[in-house]
Structure 1
Amino acid sequence: KKRHQTDLSAYAADIVECVQDAQDESGDTNIVVPTADKFASPETKFADLDTDLSGGLSLPEITTAITTHKTDAFNDMDTNNSNDVTVEE
């Protein structure tokens, strides 16, 4: 199944700034401010995953990307850096 993804890379800085402003104004630390790379074009995201520059994605490349993504997500949730995530976090 082919997924359509809108390229928001041209608006990335504005989106990040807007979310940061919302977090700053509200004081709500639960608002997660994204990084601009979250809005990269599908072609850029693919190229970033294709570490061996083969023009395709191998299982090790996909596995590394998934592991990195899940580790980053866990670290974002683990706000006190205890290597455990609690309900309060």
Structure 2
Amino acid sequence: MVEEQEPGGAVHLTQPEMADLLGVHPSRVSRAMSLLVNRGLVVRPNGGKGRSYALNPTVAGYETEEDFVREMRRQLAVGGPPPILVPE
């Protein structure tokens, strides 16, 4: 996902496309995506509707440092970026 992301973290790949790129069965991608979403590393824009994903804004790539700062300020204005959950 990191290699396929747009600046800001949007990833426009379906799970079957990810499976093809990785050479694995789609069910493995499905399980992995569920884990990444549950831990907050990946978010589902638009309330989870559609087939798009995005990296959590705190770990996404940006074109410039200013773009990163702008996004973090935007996130803080609406309650902060989604939390990343680290298992104990």
TM-score of the pair, normalised by structure 1: 0.28
Greater strand share, structure number: 2
Greater helix share, structure number: 1
TM-score of the pair, normalised by structure 2: 0.28
The structure number with the bigger radius of gyration is 1
